Each structure stands twice: as structure tokens, then as C-alpha cells.
Amino acid sequence: MDNLVDSFVPKEFMGEIIAIVNQKGGTGKTTTSVNLSSALARQGKDVVVIDFDPQANLTYAFGIEENEGTIADVLREQNSLSDVLLEREGARVAPGDIALADVEVSLINEIGREFFLSEAIKGLNGYDYLIIDCPPSLSLLAINALVAADYSIVPMQMEVMSLQGLNQIRNTIERINRSYKLDIYIKGILAVMVDRRRNLDSEIEDFIQNNYEIPLFSSKIRTNVRASEAPSFGQSVISYAPRSNSAIDYMEFARELMNNEP
């Protein structure tokens, strides 16, 4: 029999919070955040996505130039999360901006400095997925994102160098879990910018599957020039070039996630 208590929990409390994390830059975090959000929204899900990188690439990629407020204001408690959300491609986007870097510095001496994003998210409900595009670091902002999340997804190119960072992410998450009695985990590695013609890709895939206890999503995102063009048009690649490989791959990845694999 189903847990009776669970069956009475209203929908608004059942969303999944996902941190898209990798401390290296250029590993496809923002591209994944934009396109996963768009793909999930297209499949009828209620999606919120937060630009949590001071470089604000996600904000740009969604064509947001002017906004009433950003996630930096929310952390400074000058605005609520629901007040800064803008609709793009059926998803609700919390813009970021460079002020996030100053906020990070100012948080360092605050009590509960790791929990500012969690607190901000608590006031929001009615989403199926809340996606956080993390900065390229494991600094206080990234830790805020991980602490707020139910799980993380690590987009990665299938290269030897990428593996070195994997242990670091895993150790950071373990440390957070131990310190704060949380249960965050890496749901999976998403292979991005994959070139199926290269053998190295599948060798690294095998290596990850044999040596890390982290699953690899069966969906993979192929390299496609459309994916790199789309941000200048303020669109996901799914809107900009729906028939491109990366658009097809991100739609498939969204379905895999919705089916709760791996």
C-alpha cells in the first residue's frame, strides 16, 4: 500500500531540485540548464531555472536583457524568488548578474551562509523541476546550490582530464552531507559535446562505469554548431534548431530524467 502521508502531500511540495554542477568552466552546465529546462517545459512540466553564475550566461542565453530583479537581490533579501521570475520558453527563469560575486563575498561572514539559496527556494512552490545552473567552482555559491538540491547532474566531456574533477565533486558532496546531515547525491554524469566517431569517448565511458559508482545517463548530447549559436539568438537550441542533433538529444535526456533513470 502506498504511504498514506505521501498521497496527501500537495503537488507543490513534490518538485525536484537539481544542481547542474562541475567546477570546471566550459563543460556544458549552462547549455544543459537552458535546454533541459526548455525540454522539460515542452513536455508539460512546470520548470523553474536559476542562473546562479555571476557570469550570467544563462540569463543571456534566454535573451533576458532587462529584469526587475535577479537572484542576487533575492539572496540579499531585497526581493522574493517568485518576484524575479520571468517566463521564457514555458519555463520560469530567475536571472543572475555579476552582483552575485559581491553577494558571495558578503555571505562569507553570515551565520547559515550555506543555506541562503535553500531559504529563498522555500518560499516558492508549484514546480515539478527547479534547475540551478552553477558557477564553475565549488565555492560558497556552488555549495549553496548543492545544499538546496535534492541531487546533482554533472555534465562532462568524455576526456581524461574531466575525470580528475569528478572525485573533487564527490568529496565535496560527501562533506556537505556529513556536515549538514543531508542526502544529496550525483544522479548521473551527462556526456556532452560527444563525438561518436571518437573512440576515446567510449573508452572513458567504460572507465567511468567501471571505476566510479556514479551512473552515466544513457542519453548523450552530441556536439553541434547550432548548440553554440543558439545563445546569441536568446533561445534554447530546441527553439532555434529543433531538428539539430543537440535539440533531439536534450529532448531525449529530458524524457530519460522524467522516467527517473538511471
CB of 104 to Mg ion, least distance (A): 16
Binding partner of residue 192 among ligand ADP, Mg ion, none, CB under 5 to 8 Å per kind?
A: ligand ADP
Note whether 25 binds ligand ADP by CB under 6 A. yes
50-73 burial code (b ≥16 CB/10 A, e <16): bbbbbbbbbbbbbebeebebbbbb
The window from 20-28, 93-101, 167-175, 202-210 that contacts ligand ADP (CB under 6 A) reads 20-28
Q: Report the alpha-carbon distance of residue 156 to residue 194 in Å, rounded.
A: 9
Name which of residues 122 to 141 contact ligand ADP (CB under 6 A): 136
Binder to Mg ion among 23, 30, 70, 162 (CB under 5 A)?
Answer: 30
Q: Are 240 and 226 in contact (CB under 8 A)?
A: yes
Name which of residues 37 to 76 contact ligand ADP (CB under 6 A): 57
Count of residues near ligand ADP by CB under 6 A: 18
Binder to ligand ADP among 79, 162, 224, 236 (CB under 6 A)?
Answer: 224
Which amino acid, 128?
D
Binding partner of residue 246 among ligand ADP, Mg ion, none, CB under 5 to 8 Å per kind?
A: ligand ADP
The window from 43-51, 86-94, 164-172, 218-226 that contacts ligand ADP (CB under 6 A) reads 218-226
199: DSSP letter: H
The window from 9-17, 21-29, 87-95, 118-126 that contacts ligand ADP (CB under 6 A) reads 21-29
For ligand ADP, what does the binding mask look like between residues 88 and 117, x meaning CB under 6 A? Answer: ------------------------------
DSSP-derived secondary structure for 224-250: -HHHHHGGGGTS-HHHH-TTSHHHHHH
Binding partner of residue 144 among Mg ion, ligand ADP, none, CB under 5 to 8 Å per kind?
A: none
Cell of 185: 547525491
Q: Report the alpha-carbon distance of residue 243 to residue 115 in Å, rounded.
A: 41
Strands 86-88 and 91-94: antiparallel
Cell of 53: 553564475
Contacts with 208 (C-beta within 8 Å, 6 or more apart), sequence order? 163, 166, 189, 214, 216
For Mg ion, what does the binding mask look like between residues 49 and 78, x meaning CB under 5 A? Answer: --------x---------------------
Binder to ligand ADP among 67, 118, 139, 223 (CB under 6 A)?
Answer: 223
Binder to Mg ion among 17, 19, 23, 29 (CB under 5 A)?
Answer: 29
12: DSSP letter: G
190: DSSP letter: E
Q: Report the alpha-carbon distance of residue 157 to residue 208 in Å, rounded.
A: 12
Binder to ligand ADP among 187, 246, 247, 253 (CB under 6 A)?
Answer: 246
Region of residue 129 (phi > 0: left; psi between -120 and 50: alpha; otherwise: beta): beta
Interface ranges with ligand ADP (CB under 6 A): 22, 25-31, 57, 136, 192-193, 221, 223-224, 227-228, 246
